[in-house]
C-alpha cells in the first residue's frame, strides 16, 4: 500500500514538473512552452460561445459593478507576474494587464497609428466606454494611449499613456538597445479591476446566470508614482478605460492562468473570468439615483467596513433570487 501511495505521489509531482506545453517533445529549448502544429490542430482553441438569450426569456435582471482587489491572495492569478520583462517570463506566464496591453498595441492600432517593429499593421481603433454618453464608442484619439510620455507637452506628461520610453535600455534582453525596446506601463502599476456585468434569471432554463459586459483596469497612471511624495496626486490610483469584454475574449482564451496546484490542468483567463473564479466587492448597482456608488450613500459614507457589508448584502439578495423563485 505504501509503495502504491509513493508511486502516485511521484507521478503527480512529475506531472506538475513537466507541465509546460511541449516540454517532453521539444527538440530545442526555444520550443518549450509552444504548442506543436499537431497540438494546435487537435485543440479546441476557441472561447465558449455565449448562447442566444431572447429578451422574452429574461424574467429578471440586474446590472452590477464590482471591484477585484489585487491585494487579495485569491485574486493573485490575475495580477502576477508583476514584472513584464520578456526575457524573465515566456509567453506562457503573463498577467492580465500584460495581455490587455499587448491587445491594445497589436490588435487595435488606430487608422492613423503606427505600430512598433512587427506590429505595424493598421487595424481598428479601441472600443471603450464613454462616460459622457454612457455607452461604448470608438476612441477618437486612438494614438493617445500609445503616445510616448517623453514626447508629450509638459502639462500632459502625467496623462494616461501606455508607453514610457522607446530605445532607452535593453528591455527585451536581446543584447541591443533599439526601437524594439519599449518601456510599457508595467503590471505592478495595476492594483485592481472594475467589472460591469448583469445577473439575469433565464426562465427558459430556470436558473440565475451572469454575463460579463466590460472590464476596466485600476492602478497608477504615472510612471513616477514610486518616487512621488506621500499625499501626492500621483500616489492615488485611478480608473483607466472600460473595454468591451466580447472584443477581448478570443485574445484572453489564448493565454493560460498559472496554477499552484496543478499546472497540467490550467484554465484560460477567459474561462476564469466568465466562471467568476475571483473575489469581488460590489460597489454599484443600477438605481434611480444616477448610478450612485455605495461610497456616496450617506449612512455608509467613508466607512470601508460598512461598504463591504453592504456589498455582501446586495450580493446575497441577487443570489437568493433564484432560491426564492423555487421556494415560493
Q: In sequence order, what DSSP letters do the residues of 25-92 get, joined into one string?
A: T-SSGGGTTS--HHHHHHS--SPPPPPP--GGGEEEEEEEEEEEETTSGGGHHHH------TTTS-TT
* CA–CA distance, 48 with 272 (Å, rounded to integer): 12
Q: Show the cell assigned to 65.
A: 459593478
CA distances from 140 to 184, 232, 310 (A): 22, 30, 38
Domain extents in the chain: 1-43, 57-327
35-49, 235-249, 286-300: least confidently modelled range: 35-49
pLDDT category at 11 given cuts 50, 70, 90 is: very low
Question: What pLDDT score does 269 carry?
Answer: 92
Average pLDDT value for residue range 36-64: 80
**Which residue in this structure is represented by grid cell 536581446?**
174
pLDDT for the residue numbered 76: 92
Beta bridge partners of residue 130, listed in sequence order? 135
The pLDDT, as a whole number, for residue 157 is 67
Average pLDDT over residues 213-224: 87
Q: Mean pLDDT lowest for which of 74-88, 136-150, 191-205, 288-302?
A: 136-150
Residue 191 CB-half CA count within 13 A: 10
Provide mean pLDDT across the span 6-29. Answer: 52
- Tell me, what's the pLDDT at 228? 74
The answer for residues whose C-beta is within 8 angstroms of residue 305's C-beta and 6 or more apart is none
Contact criterion met (CB below 8 Å) for 87 and 172 = yes
**50, pLDDT greater than 60:** yes
Which residues 6+ apart lie within 8 Å of 113 measured at CB? Answer: 122, 142, 143, 146
> pLDDT tens across 244-261, in order?
888 888 889 888 898 888
- pLDDT the model gives residue 224: 77
- Above 70 in pLDDT, residue 215? yes
Report the chain's mean pLDDT, rounded to a whole number.
Answer: 76
Name the residue with higher pLDDT: 155 or 252: 252
pLDDT reading at 18 higher than 70:
no
Specify the pLDDT at position 14: 38
What is the Cα–Cα distance from 162 to 149, expressed in whole angstroms? 8
Q: Cβ–Cβ contacts within 10 Å for residue 135, how many?
A: 8
Plot region of 302 (φ>0 → left; ψ -120 to 50 → alpha; else → beta): left
Across 37-52, b (16+ Cβ under 10 Å) vs e yields eeeeeeeeeebeeeee
The pLDDT assigned to 66 comes to 92
Amino acid at each position: 500500500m505504501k509503495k502504491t501511495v509513493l508511486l502516485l505521489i511521484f507521478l503527480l509531482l512529475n506531472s506538475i514538473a513537466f507541465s509546460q506545453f511541449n516540454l517532453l517533445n521539444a527538440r530545442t529549448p526555444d520550443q518549450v512552452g509552444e504548442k506543436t502544429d499537431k497540438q494546435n490542430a487537435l485543440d479546441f482553441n476557441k472561447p465558449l460561445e455565449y448562447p442566444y438569450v431572447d429578451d422574452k426569456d429574461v424574467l429578471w435582471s440586474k446590472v452590477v459593478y464590482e471591484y477585484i482587489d489585487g491585494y487579495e491572495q485569491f485574486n493573485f492569478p490575475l495580477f502576477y507576474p508583476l514584472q513584464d520583462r520578456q526575457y524573465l517570463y515566456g509567453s506562457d506566464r503573463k498577467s492580465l494587464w500584460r495581455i490587455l496591453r499587448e491587445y491594445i498595441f497589436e490588435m487595435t492600432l488606430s487608422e492613423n497609428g503606427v505600430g512598433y517593429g512587427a506590429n505595424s499593421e493598421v487595424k481598428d481603433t479601441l472600443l471603450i466606454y464613454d462616460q459622457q454618453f454612457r455607452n461604448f464608442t470608438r476612441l477618437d484619439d486612438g494614438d493617445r494611449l500609445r503616445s510616448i510620455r517623453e514626447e508629450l507637452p509638459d502639462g500632459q506628461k502625467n496623462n494616461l499613456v501606455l508607453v514610457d520610453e522607446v530605445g532607452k535600455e535593453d528591455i527585451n534582453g536581446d543584447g541591443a538597445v533599439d526601437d524594439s525596446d519599449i518601456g510599457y506601463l508595467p503590471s505592478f502599476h495595476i492594483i485592481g479591476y472594475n467589472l460591469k456585468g448583469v445577473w439575469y434569471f433565464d426562465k427558459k432554463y430556470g436558473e440565475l446566470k451572469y454575463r460579463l459586459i466590460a472590464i476596466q483596469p485600476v492602478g497608477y497612471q504615472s510612471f513616477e508614482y514610486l518616487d512621488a511624495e506621500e499625499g501626492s496626486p500621483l500616489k492615488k490610483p485611478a480608473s483607466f478605460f472600460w473595454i468591451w469584454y466580447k472584443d477581448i475574449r478570443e485574445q484572453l482564451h489564448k493565454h493560460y492562468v498559472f496554477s499552484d496546484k496543478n499546472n497540467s490542468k490550467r484554465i484560460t483567463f477567459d474561462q476564469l473570468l466568465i466562471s467568476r473564479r475571483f473575489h469581488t466587492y460590489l460597489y454599484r448597482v443600477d438605481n434611480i439615483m444616477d448610478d450612485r456608488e455605495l461610497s456616496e450613500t450617506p449612512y455608509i459614507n467613508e466607512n470601508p467596513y460598512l461598504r463591504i457589508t453592504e456589498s455582501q448584502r446586495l450580493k446575497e439578495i441577487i443570489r437568493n433570487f433564484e432560491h426564492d423563485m423555487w421556494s415560493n
